[in-house]
Amino acid sequence: MTQLGNMAPPAGLDEFLQLHGWEGAQVVPVAGDASFRRYFRVESATRGKAILMDAPPPHEDPRPFLHIAQYLNGHQFRAPEIFATDLTRGLLLIEDFGDRRMREHLDEHPEDEAAVYRAAIDAIVRLAKTPAVQAQPYDMATYMREVQLLSEWYMPAMGLSFDAHEFDQVWTEALAPLAEYQKVTVLRDYHAENIMLLDDGQQGIIDFQDALVGHPAYDLVSLLQDARRDVSPALEAEMLAYYNDTAKPDTDFAAHYALLGAQRNTKIIGIFTRLWKRDGKARYLSFLPRMWGLLERDLAHPDLAPIKRWFDTHIPSDVRNDMPAELNIDG
């Protein structure tokens, strides 16, 4: 049996590795994410290195990852190559992009920041010019289900009362103008922890299995209003100017960027609260001050005045800065 320290191996791991020519490989855990997926590095003296993704049904389904990876690689983007699959068990053996994430590289080499972000934006621009992937639309129901994570988790966690119908109406009216722009592949989690800097100088993309067809501003928001890395307002403005020069978007783009930023950041505040309340992962609440700062930056756009009024009324600034008394950031 392949040994993984104190982490239990996926069911059928040895059989899977032997079937695909990786028998005897060393397998060690690598950092995961906030989902049920687990990741392991597989190293063979004869085959080299790979990453094992353990995406066990019914919690996870690896097929969307396969579909989007094939789409991206088919259009000359750098997604991991797929070496082997067992969809019944939820096992994928994929290309190992190494450990040099954009986030850590820029922490160590801040002088590279502008160049690395420009390259990431170039990929967004090119993706918008590529025929969209066959995927579900980022429709109103999805947008609303996401912002309702705040009303379902953050509001009760903080003991706040509100009118759910009013909340939904404000967001529905604000999001309605986006409908005619939902035409491009949206990776949804395109940020500094999901962009790998590869040895060949390219940028590799990971964690794209939730891709939808949506608005071209969404991935730009994800990149420049990063939930886990501070992007200064000055860098955001510089990169927005670069995007405008490169992509030549419609005149409504700035308003849509702010709106999608508000939508995404509202969703993430709800998600991080859910990770605390439901999953016992209180450390995610340490990200909330950044998320409120980003949301407030978006709400400053005049087109978002109705949403801003709702937040100012129901979650005023003193509440946003308040942490639950029982919060243990180390939890």
Per-residue pLDDT of 123-163, as tens digits, reads 999 999 999 999 999 999 999 999 999 999 999 999 999 99
Mapping DSSP to helix (H, G, I), strand (E, B) and coil, where does residue 326 land? coil
Average pLDDT, integer, range 179-204: 96
Q: Given a cut of 80, is residue 331 above it in pLDDT?
A: no
Average pLDDT of the segment spanning 229-243: 97
What domains are there in the chain, each with its CATH number? Answer: 13-94 (3.30.200.20), 102-320 (3.90.1200.10)
Band of residue 322 on the pLDDT scale cut at 50, 70, 90: confident
Supply the pLDDT for residue 307. 98
133, 185 Cβ separation under 8 angstroms:
yes
CA–CA distance, 141 with 161 (Å, rounded to integer): 23
> For 250-279, how does the pLDDT look when each residue is reduced to its tens digit (9 = 90+)?
999 999 999 999 999 999 999 999 999 999
pLDDT of 54-77, one tens digit each? 998 888 999 999 999 999 999 999
The model's pLDDT over 71-123, given as tens digits with 9 standing for 90+, comes to 999 999 999 999 999 999 999 999 999 999 999 999 999 999 999 999 999 99
Specify the pLDDT at position 324: 60
This prediction's pTM: 0.91
Q: What is the DSSP letter of 101?
A: B
Tell me the C-alpha distance between 217 and 23, whole Å.
Answer: 45
Instruction: Confirm if 34 and 60 have CB atoms less than 8 A apart.
Output: no
